[in-house]
Amino acid sequence: MRAAAHRNHAAWWAFALHRLSGVLLALFLPVHFYVLASAIDGAARLDGFLRWTEQPPVKFAEAALILLLAAHLTGGLRLLFLEFVGWRDGQKSLVAVASGVAVALALLFLVNAA
């Protein structure tokens, strides 16, 4: 079975990435709220969790979270641009710029976290 032609376009992949990043960020929210709620139980519990987050695998997971946030942000800005400016011939370039900014932000975070 052959993929639909529209799925080979960069704008479709940008749409898919924007949706996927949004879903993954929504799945992360309960974890985030759980950690914030641990602060209510006392400083010792929160401090213990914060010490756990200093491990390298957690730092890579944080970089992945930053990548998701940046991808969702840049994808949303791209959609706002389309909404207010309209379709332009350079959409593939705009997708590439948005993707590059998202990856650069995640790498910058990872470098600073190390």
Angstrom CA distances, 3 to 8, 9, 14, 80, stand at 8, 11, 17, 28
For the CA atoms of the chain, what is the radius of gyration? 18
Average pLDDT of the residues in 72-84: 83
pTM exceeds cut of 0.75: no
Tell me: pLDDT of 68 over 80. Answer: yes
User: Is residue 15 a part of any domain in this protein?
Assistant: yes
Check which CATH number belongs to the domain holding 97 and give it: 1.20.1300.10
Domain count within the chain:
1
Average pLDDT of the residues in 7-16: 79
User: Is residue 49 a part of any domain in this protein?
Assistant: no
Do 18 and 79 contact (CB within 8 A), yes or no? yes
What percentage of the chain carries pLDDT values higher than 70?
A: 93
Structural domain containing residue 61:
5-29+55-113
User: What is the per-residue pLDDT for 50?
Assistant: 87
User: Is residue 40 a part of any domain in this protein?
Assistant: no
